[in-house]
């Protein structure tokens, strides 16, 4: 947010208040939790943990100094933000994805009936078709993860899901909608099942935190689900 600031009060809010609270909430627990892992040489462990912020203080100013003349303050700040651990970017990405993921589940039936693409009988089965193929979409991609890697699989499934969403524009027949619903159910199912797998992959060196990280990520994802579908409904009603 600092990269988007143009006035002093915005800098005060982002840099002084938000970053101050965030750093305090991050630093204190990360040092305090060491007592649950060490029974001897606690002081040495705390010193090593606290030294990490100094190491960051070496890297970030150099990055900022080198990039500032080349890409400006805004993008330099964003690059530094992108250097934060992959878990944060993973959660943010799934937050964005889940905002729109379930819109076809909610609005496909209404869409096809409004546009008179099919009758009510077939329209009522489209949701069942999506859910049936979603069963396989939650199993097969996870099997592929062991061979191809979690990020390779989730990127491919995300791209496929996005393309299928746009394909609703071109679907003008019952047969097309059935095929579209089937494929969307499959790839959206993979998008649902892969987040926990990716969190586990990112936590191989911190297995005791896997449960916490999964809970945190789905708490953020839940907010995306909460706001995404109602926004889609409002857009749908306006006919944009």
Domains of the chain: 2-84 (no CATH), 87-238 (1.20.1250.20)
User: How far apart (Å, rounded) are the C-alpha atoms in residues 81 and 74?
Assistant: 11
pLDDT tens readout for residues 43-57: 777 777 767 666 777
Quickly state the pLDDT bin for 183 (edges 50, 70, 90): very high
pLDDT of residue 53: 67
pLDDT of residue 240: 55
177 touches 112 (CB < 8 A) = yes
Average pLDDT, the chain: 82
223 touches 100 (CB < 8 A) = no
Quickly state the pLDDT bin for 131 (edges 50, 70, 90): confident
User: In this model, does residue 80 exceed pLDDT 60?
Assistant: yes
Place of tokens 């649950």: 36
User: In this model, does residue 39 exceed pLDDT 70?
Assistant: yes
Which of the pair, 11 or 31, is modelled with greater confidence? 11
71 touches 79 (CB < 8 A) = yes
Give the angle subtended at the CA of 177 by the CAs of 108 and 96, to the nearest 5°: 50
Please report, for residues 8, 20, 175, 181, the alpha-carbon distance to residue 73 in angstroms, rounded to integers and kept in the order given: 15, 20, 52, 45
| Neighbouring C-beta atoms of residue 46, cutoff 10 Å | 16
User: In this model, does residue 239 exceed pLDDT 70?
Assistant: no
Model pTM?
0.64
pLDDT tens readout for residues 23-34: 777 777 776 777
pLDDT tens readout for residues 88-124: 778 888 888 888 888 888 888 888 888 788 877 788 8
């Amino acid at each position: 947010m600092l990269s988007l600031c143009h006035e002093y009060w915005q800098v005060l809010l982002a840099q002084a208040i938000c970053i101050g609270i965030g750093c305090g909430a991050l630093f204190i627990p990360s040092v305090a939790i060491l007592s649950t892992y060490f029974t001897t040489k606690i002081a040495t462990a705390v010193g090593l943990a606290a030294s990490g912020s100094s190491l960051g203080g070496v890297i970030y100013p150099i990055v900022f100094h080198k990039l500032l003349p080349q890409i400006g303050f805004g993008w330099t700040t964003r690059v530094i933000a992108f250097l934060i651990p992959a878990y944060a970017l993973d959660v943010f990405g799934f937050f964005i994805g889940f905002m729109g993921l379930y819109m076809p589940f909610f609005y496909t039936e209404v869409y096809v009936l409004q546009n008179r693409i099919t009758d009510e009988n077939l329209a009522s089965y489209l949701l069942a078709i999506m859910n049936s193929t979603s069963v396989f979409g939650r199993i097969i991609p996870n099997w592929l993860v062991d061979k191809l890697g979690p990020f390779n699989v989730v990127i491919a499934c995300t791209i496929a899901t996005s393309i299928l969403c746009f394909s609703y524009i071109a679907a003008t027949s019952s047969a097309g909608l059935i095929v579209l619903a089937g494929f969307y159910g499959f790839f959206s199912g993979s998008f649902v099942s892969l987040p926990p797998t990716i969190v586990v992959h990112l936590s191989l060196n911190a297995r005791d935190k896997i449960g916490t990280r999964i809970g945190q990520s789905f708490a953020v994802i839940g907010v995306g689900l909460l706001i995404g579908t109602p926004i889609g409904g409002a857009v749908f009603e306006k006919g944009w």
